[in-house]
Structure 1
Amino acid sequence: MESDIEQTFCLAEEKGNSAKSLLSPKAKLTWTVSATSHYEAMEKYYQYMGWGHYSSEFLDDRLPYAIES
């Protein structure tokens, strides 16, 4: 969270570094979630934010994230 009205939801660890680099030094981590796909992550994010049900017309959103070894 950067302020009461500004937030960023991004991937953890190195995969989210480009998004996190845009945050101010005062930004704080307030919530984390585990998900197997972009769609699942967004459903949980919408629920957390109180925005109702997430939907997407992009079928690729439901594909599982690649697992790295």
Structure 2
Amino acid sequence: MSTRYRWLTLGESYLYGPALGKGLDSRRGSRCRVVTLPRAGSKPANVQVEFEDGGTHVVPSGVLRKIRA
């Protein structure tokens, strides 16, 4: 059984896509892997992610998008 928070799954890869001027502009469109999930009901629902180059960052769950195959 996988650990999930809404549409996010622990260990899965997603695209980082914040609005322009928000978050890490240099990382927009980058792939990242979910390292930790928020607790159910937490506001804001922040997620720790690891980017492909090894950098980690805490981001809101709403800026992560599923990767389409």
Task: Quickly name the TM-score band, shorter chain normalised.
Answer: under 0.3
Structure (1 or 2) with the greater helix fraction: 1
Structure (1 or 2) with the greater strand fraction: 2
Q: How high is the TM-score relative to the length of structure 1?
A: 0.22
Higher relative contact order (CA 8 A, sep 6+): 2
Q: How high is the TM-score relative to the length of structure 2?
A: 0.22
